[in-house]
Amino acid sequence: MSARLPVLFLGHGSPMNAIEDNAWSRAWAALGTELPRPKAVLMVSAHWETRGASAVSASDRPETIHDFGGFPQALFDVRYDAPGDPALAERVAQLLSPDPVVQYPTRGLDHGAWGVLRPMYPDADVPVVQLSLDRGRPDRWHYEAGRRLAALRDEGVLIVGSGDIVHNLRAVNFRTGETPDWAPRFNETAKALIAAGDHDPLIDWRTLGPDADAAINSAEHYLPLLYVLGAQTPGEPVSFFTDDVFAAISMTSVRVG
């Protein structure tokens, strides 16, 4: 049996981090060399939302999706040709059963996935399956889904959530880049709860007050964190890296195990 793999939540920030050499992309590259090599990656990205059922990418050769605008041509030229893993897609559906999981044979990899995987595995030689965020589900369902998927850690699969703990583009002042007080404040609140293994307030984040309302906003960038926390064994060590907050975005990343 394979050794149990860690679980990662990666604060992905701008799509440009996929092609820029900076502290964040270098940290992702370091993960690719430091972690045990996985058989495959299960990616939960902020950028694939469904309603009524979860979906998984079941393509043998998922395409590279450029789901953004206003960036340099070099970013649109990126192709991340990692193979898919239809058998893993089926396994994900099995673990989440009896809740329905749609096998999505034409779904590619969005920038929340390839934006962090390109620095981690630049040869694109690790198979990748994406799992959508079913926005028809309550927040606790996403956490419990992470708990059900945790078995994959013992099967050579690296579970990665890609989003941002703080993500509110409407609150960004693009002229000044000023960071509102609530952004680092909520980031520290979330980190303290993660470090303490106190997950209930993070699941029921609306109880954390106005800082959480502003920081989490539309929640699609936050929900991948709940899968990662759900996959944590009680008492398992956690650590933080790329721990930066700018404007209204947190790059803070979490390693479990």
C-beta separation of 162 from 224 below 8 A = yes
State which CATH number among 3.30.530.20, 3.40.830.10, 3.90.550.10, 3.40.980.10 fits the domain covering 7-256.
Answer: 3.40.830.10
Segment 15-64, tens digit of pLDDT: 888 899 999 999 999 999 999 999 999 999 999 999 999 999 999 999 99
Q: What is the DSSP string of 155-217?
A: GTEEEEEEE-SSB-GGG--TTT-PPPTHHHHHHHHHHHHHHHT--HHHHTGGGG-HHHHHHHT
C-beta separation of 1 from 154 below 8 A = yes
Segment 116-167, tens digit of pLDDT: 999 999 999 999 999 999 999 999 999 999 999 999 999 999 999 999 999 9
Collect all residues with Cβ–Cβ distance below 8 Å to 76 and sequence separation of at least 6. Answer: 66
Under the banding of pLDDT at 50, 70 and 90, the label for residue 2 is low
Neighbours of 163 (CB within 10 A): 26
Segment 13-27, tens digit of pLDDT: 888 888 999 999 999
Under the banding of pLDDT at 50, 70 and 90, the label for residue 1 is very low
Name the residue ranges covered by the structural domains of the chain: 7-256
| Range 30-56 burial, b when 16+ CB lie within 10 A, else e | ebbeeeeebebbbbbbbbbbbeeebbb
Q: Say whether pLDDT at 103 is over 90.
A: yes
